[in-house]
Structure 1
Amino acid sequence: MAALEGKVALVTGAGRGLGRACARIFAREGARVVVVDLRPEGGEETVQLIKDAGGEAIAVGADVSQPAQVEAMVRAAVETYGGLDCAINNAVYFYGRHPLADIPDEDWNRALAVNYTGVFLCMKHEIRAMLERGGGAIVNVGSGNEHSSKPGLSWYLSAKQAIYGLTKVAALDYGGQGIRVNAIGPGSMWTPALRQTAEQNPHHVEQLEALTPLRRLAEPEEVAEAAIWLCTDKASYVLGHTLVADGGAVLG
């Protein structure tokens, strides 16, 4: 039997890249999937890919920085499929590399609203739904840069590293009630954004590969497999952990 047969899973930022890969693997493992994305067309494309492969999914448009929209996306899972068992909080706002003092307040606030507060809002409503089911599993998407830093990414790494603290505390708060909260720390992946960058600057990809002991970048599916594993019973004793899937980059 598939690892998540009969479960209901929700993935934010599932219109492309890692989120799409997670949604498709959830479906492959037997889950009914709520595909959440800010861009309706991206979410619908993911749903169609799942249906074409014989899976079951619905698309929900939501901005995870907006409490009412987050509440509505979880309600859609409950009303459509009867509850919620698994969630991967992957939505991200990307601003680009800028020195801290050059970041306008509005861009900083938008980045934190999506990349950090958005995770809090998602967890808040996901946990409430999971408590009604008697348990569940949540995976928050951080960054493979958990143990390092990069110039120009204060808006990104501050949120991603804060997510790890949020994950640990939530794990302590709800582990005893059957909800396992963990995180995944992805390394560099062949996302649509990176492929676009590679076309413009092939040297950037060479630099990333040189930082990775495996000497290659990941396909999103490789990281997604690790994230989905954290939602299965095979990870039943894993709690408050960050699983870094970065090809060993952090070792350097």
Structure 2
Amino acid sequence: MEEKDERTILTRRKTIATAAGLVGAIPVAALANTQFPPQPKTGRADPQGRFAGKVVLVTGATSGIGEATARAFALEGAKVYFCGRRQELGRNVESAVRALGGEATYQRADVREADQIKAFVDNCVSRYGRLDVAFNNAGTVGEVNPFLETALDDWHNVLTTNATGVFLSMKNEIPYMLKQGGGVIINTASVSSYRGFLNIAPYGASKHAILSLTKTAALAFAAKNIRISSIAPGGVDTAMLRYARERQGIRPEQGAMGIPIHRTNTVEEIARAVLFLSSDDATSFAGSNVDVTGGMLD
């Protein structure tokens, strides 16, 4: 059965490669490299990197995916302006990026609060004069409880953080991008935007909402040279995932076996997807939701 599955996967990939004109250019060995987590990029920031001169805003960058993405942008030469609620962690991230020669500035802001997210975006543009890329990543899984034990307060907290936070972020980012003639926005959706998972009902509902927000905004502003897309991470090695697995009695190795590549994704892998969507290599992506689940949506 395992051999049959492998043939099916290779056949599907060969079909896609044929359509793209890539047959003969992809060695079979390369198709298996997803089994091994890539090493994080090391070294100092490159002031002439892919995003040299670009201004990048990131919400929820005091840890996890946001932190890794803020660092990745800075290493590629971007000026990064990021927020999060945990001030000590934010300052630590800021210092770590600057120690590598990158430019990063932390501002404490809570995406649930309209005045705080407005001040955050306004201050970014006031400091750097423009806004080229926004990665709206702030989010929470909330409490992990059976459906009937989900508290209304937790519902409101998760929906406000994850969905309203993205809405408020775009409301403040888009006007600046319209004035300057364009920009890129990436929102963090999830495998939970497509599949239901036990005991995290508010989280799943909020991530479904992000897909709709992304597609609606993309339709409204694509003709204005503003590319808006989202990413759908699956199991990513973050404190949030570890908490959710622990609450449900799922050991790390068990959780990894539920992912077709048989390992938990790294935050650096998600960062690479965000950088790709933000680059000039992704100019036809608008209203897209990019699957970075390690095969969970196949």
Q: Shorter chain as normaliser: what TM range?
A: over 0.9
For each residue in 1:42-91, what CA deviation from the matched residue of structure 2 results, as whole angstroms up to 9, or x when unmatched? 11111111111111111011110111001000011111111111011111
Quote the residue 2:190 is aligned against: 143
For each residue in 1:205-247, what CA deviation from the matched residue of structure 2 results, as whole angstroms up to 9, or x when unmatched? 1222111121111110011110121111111111100011011
Change (3 A) 1:43 1:212: same
For each residue in 1:112-166, what CA deviation from the matched residue of structure 2 results, as whole angstroms up to 9, or x when unmatched? 1111111100010011121122110000001123321111111001010110011
Change (3 A) 1:173 1:61: same
Deviation at 1:193, TM superposition (A): 3.8
Task: Identify which of 8, 13, 16 aligns with 2:63.
Answer: 16
Decide whether the 8 Å contact of 1:8 with 1:85 is kept in 2.
yes
Change (3 A) 1:121 1:28: same
Change (3 A) 1:169 1:197: closer
Task: Identify which of 240, 259, 264 aligns with 1:212.
Answer: 259
Task: Identify which of 196, 207, 223 aligns with 1:160.
Answer: 207
The reply to whether residue 223 of structure 1 matches residue 247 of structure 2 is no
| Letter of the structure 2 residue corresponding to residue 207 of structure 1 | Q
The reply to whether residue 243 of structure 1 matches residue 276 of structure 2 is no
| Structure 1 stretch displaced more, 108-117 or 191-200 | 191-200
Q: Describe how 1:44-193 pairs up with structure 2 within 5 A.
A: 44-193=91-240
Change (3 A) 1:199 1:149: closer
1-side partners of 2:156 and 2:193: how far apart? 21
| Letter of the structure 2 residue corresponding to residue 10 of structure 1 | L
Equivalent position SS for 1:214: coil
Equivalent position SS for 1:243: strand
| Letter of the structure 1 residue corresponding to residue 158 of structure 2 | A
Decide whether the 8 Å contact of 2:192 with 2:203 is kept in 1.
no
Change (3 A) 1:248 1:68: same
Decide whether the 8 Å contact of 1:145 with 1:250 is kept in 2.
no
1-side partners of 2:194 and 2:109: how far apart? 31
1-side partners of 2:142 and 2:211: how far apart? 21
Change (3 A) 1:88 1:94: same
Higher-Rg structure is 2
Deviation at 1:105, TM superposition (A): 1.8
The reply to whether residue 35 of structure 1 matches residue 76 of structure 2 is no
Decide whether the 8 Å contact of 1:74 with 1:129 is kept in 2.
no
Residue identity (%)? 38
Equivalent position SS for 1:71: helix
Equivalent position SS for 1:230: helix
1-side partners of 2:222 and 2:260: how far apart? 35
Deviation at 1:197, TM superposition (A): 6.8
Change (3 A) 1:199 1:171: closer
| Letter of the structure 1 residue corresponding to residue 56 of structure 2 | A
Q: Calculate the TM-score normalised by the size of structure 1.
A: 0.94
2-side partners of 1:226 and 1:14: how far apart? 16
Structure 2 gaps, min length 5: 1-47
| Structure 1 stretch displaced more, 190-199 or 76-85 | 190-199
Structure 1 gaps, min length 5: none
| Letter of the structure 1 residue corresponding to residue 206 of structure 2 | A
Decide whether the 8 Å contact of 2:143 with 2:154 is kept in 1.
no
Decide whether the 8 Å contact of 2:140 with 2:240 is kept in 1.
no
